Amino acid sequence: MSQTAVALHATDPMTGLGAASILGADKRLKVVTDTDVAAAEVIVVVEESIGEGVFAFLREARAASRLESQVRCVIVTDHFRPEVLLTAIECGMAALLRQSSTTGEELVQTILAVGQGAAYLPPELQGNLLTQLDSLQRHMLEPVGLTLSGMSVRERDVLRLLADGHDTEEIATMLAYSGGTVKNVLHGLMSRCGLNSRAHAVAFALRSGAI
């Protein structure tokens, strides 16, 4: 039976012991020691509240991780401030559970699901996340010509037309650019993202949902 390697972070000793007992009792999980957090596939944080101390720990753990993919986190708390939602996601949060009402089995099932790529946010935070992303797009990214995909509006427009089968001159005409501008846009994107052809750039944009 394959096991999901789990690291546990809890500053309160009794809380940590209780959580460790739950996780250690399930054969589907392997609880790693504090000295081997880099091997963890999922990090479980159990704290009364979530602040910069937790985020600093998660950033360090992700930087030290030996996994090819980024380690993901399950946060268990009764006091989570919506204004730190994007920071928590940036630090790897994939699931948020309420400490006072989550059972041991629910915690284990969530860890296993997160280890397989799933995510869970309470419904009220899902709406909050969409609102924050919309605000980020309108007030911070759009004014400098960027999108949530990490591509500029110009790059996205060029790739969309390229995906539709248009050549450089056609794209230039349709966007009122010069042919050289279209080539420079594509060259900049391909260099920045390590893409080796226009077809590769289109495939990259499709996979990322940019077009």
Percent of the residues in the chain that have a pLDDT greater than 70, as a whole number: 96
Higher-scoring residue by pLDDT: 179, 134: 179
Task: Give the per-residue pLDDT at 92.
Answer: 93
Domain extents for the chain?
Answer: 4-122, 143-208
Q: Token pair for residue 162?
A: 């390229």
**Distance between CA 97 and CA 80 in Å, rounded?**
10
- Percent of the chain at pLDDT > 90 equals 67
State residue 36's pLDDT score.
86
What are the pLDDT digits (tens) for 99-148? 999 999 999 999 999 999 999 999 888 888 888 877 877 777 777 666 66
Q: Can you give the pLDDT at residue 148?
A: 67
CATH of domain 4-122: 3.40.50.2300
143-208 and 4-122 share a CATH fold: no
The architecture that CATH gives domain 143-208 is: Orthogonal Bundle (1.10)
Mean pLDDT, the chain, whole residue set: 90
